[in-house]
Amino acid sequence: MAIPSPIGLRLPDLIPGQDLRTTSAQLILNLIRQAVSASTLTEGIQPTLDFLINHTAAVGSAYVGFTGAPTLTYHVRATWAGPPHFTVEGPPPDPALTRSLENSSEPLFFDTFAPLCSPALDGVEVASLAAAPVRTRDGELLGAFMIFTFKPHIWQPEEAATFSLVSGTVAALAVRLAADDAARDARESALRAMGLALEARDRETSGHTDRVAALAMRMAQALGYCPAQTQALRWGSYLHDIGKIAIPDTVLLKPGSLDDAEWAVMRSHVCEGVRFAASLGFLPEAALEVVRDHHERWNGQGYPAGKAGSEISLSGRLFALCDVYDALTSQRPYKAAWTRRAALAEIEGQAGQHFDPELVRLFLQMLTPGDELPH
């Protein structure tokens, strides 16, 4: 696809006096403050995307990452039929646009743009586009801020100045947040790998780690968890049984029932898991709570501490539901997989005994009839 020549706008030429800088200073400062306090790239740049839509004629804005698997974060005005905001992974924009960004140190503006169609936009074609490159300190193209319209639009000097100023100011913070995201992704991959490695040893639980993590994420969504809370719960889910690496094969892989002494050894996996998880040094407390509390029971009859009711962390209470449901509906050498209906009936029957009654109600509502989970 041929990329038309951008219009020749430069920030110093677009500002009459210092009006833009003066009137926008507080707004820009607020965007910086929000980006600095953010824990993820998406969280950090979303206010900037909102700002760009509200202060230009753009109906959509995006940050596009060019490293690894590109992540496109769109924010679209409610006047368009699409969702208010969403994140999608896919191929980067047209290579010609990428080359234009690689060769430019300043924002590019296209009044008419050879249609750029994204699956994320349900086939709607971008007609006018502005794009500002985001670079690392050594000049590598990391990504770009974009604003766009679905009809041809002539970008006005005030719009171009606003976009140039905002994107340029937040660009350095976007670089930092992208680096943080990369480090976080590496940690997440390592934690999941630990859970999968444990499954390889305990062959009866194949697929358990990913299934319970998926269930926990759905509960987090139902509870309105923020991204940091959701991440902590997911990380704890990956490591919930990591202490079993310290359990001898004679106990962990024993085909028959365990005697009292063997049960004591098996239950020690919780304390061993907390010790191991804490030694990693970067896990938030809510992740450690999953490891520590997922075998506690609402009535105080669980282990290792015999906590009862709200003494048990919310993360532990939530994850216990996910863990037991998956155990019941999974086949084991010593039992057949329970049906979905039977498992949910058992969980409902254990409300106020094994499980937090309020969370049981939410769990049952979440798993509506006909809502199938992978197994």
Residue 50 placed within a domain: yes
Residue 113 placed within a domain: yes
Residue 188 placed within a domain: no
Verdict on whether the full-model pTM lies above 0.75: no
Q: Are residues 287 and 172 in the same domain?
A: no
Task: Give me the residue label for tokens 């976080």.
Answer: 184
**Does the pLDDT value for residue 19 go beyond 60?**
no
- Lowest mean pLDDT of 146-150, 169-173, 320-324, name the range: 169-173
**Does the pLDDT value for residue 228 go beyond 90?**
no
- CATH of residue 126's domain is 3.30.450.40
Residue 298 placed within a domain: yes
- Mean pLDDT rounded to a whole number for the chain: 78
Predicted pLDDT at 11: 35
Q: What is the largest CA-CA distance in the chain?
A: 83
Predicted pLDDT at 354: 97
Out of 115, 145, 180, pick the residue that ends a domain.
180
Predicted pLDDT at 352: 95
Predicted pLDDT at 202: 67
Predicted pLDDT at 356: 97
Phi first, then psi: give them for residue 323, nearest 5 degrees. Answer: -65, -45
Q: Higher-confidence residue: 4 or 138?
A: 138
- Grade residue 94 by pLDDT with cuts at 50, 70 and 90: low
Q: Are residues 341 and 225 in the same domain?
A: yes
Predicted pLDDT at 360: 96
Residue 5 placed within a domain: no
Q: Are residues 228 and 164 in the same domain?
A: no
| pLDDT tens, residue by residue, 149-179 | 888 899 998 888 888 888 877 777 676 666 6
Q: Are residues 240 and 117 in the same domain?
A: no
- CATH of residue 217's domain is 1.10.3210.10
| pLDDT tens, residue by residue, 188-223 | 888 888 888 777 776 656 788 999 999 999 999 999
Q: Higher-confidence residue: 265 or 15?
A: 265
Q: Are residues 278 and 245 in the same domain?
A: yes
Cβ-proximal residues to 186 (8 Å cutoff; 6+ apart), any chain: none
Phi first, then psi: give them for residue 126, nearest 5 degrees. Answer: -75, 130
Angle formed by the axes of helices 227-239 and 157-201, nearest 10°? 20
Q: Are 277 and 283 in contact (CB under 8 A)?
A: yes
**Does the pLDDT value for residue 12 go beyond 70?**
no
Mean predicted confidence (pLDDT) in 256-277: 91
Residue 3 placed within a domain: no
Predicted pLDDT at 347: 95
Predicted pLDDT at 177: 66
Mean predicted confidence (pLDDT) in 251-263: 86
Q: Higher-confidence residue: 91 or 180?
A: 180
| pLDDT tens, residue by residue, 341-352 | 999 999 999 999
Q: Are residues 222 and 353 in the same domain?
A: yes
Residue 186 placed within a domain: no
- Grade residue 127 by pLDDT with cuts at 50, 70 and 90: confident
Mean predicted confidence (pLDDT) in 33-42: 68
For the chain, percent of residues with pLDDT exceeding 90: 32
Predicted pLDDT at 64: 78
Residue 194 placed within a domain: no
Q: How many residues does the chain have?
A: 375
Q: Are residues 34 and 154 in the same domain?
A: yes
**Does the pLDDT value for residue 22 go beyond 70?**
no
Q: Are residues 173 and 268 in the same domain?
A: no
Number of domains in the chain: 2
Predicted pLDDT at 28: 65
Domain span at residue 223 reads 202-366
**Does the pLDDT value for residue 259 go beyond 80?**
yes
Q: Are residues 161 and 113 in the same domain?
A: yes
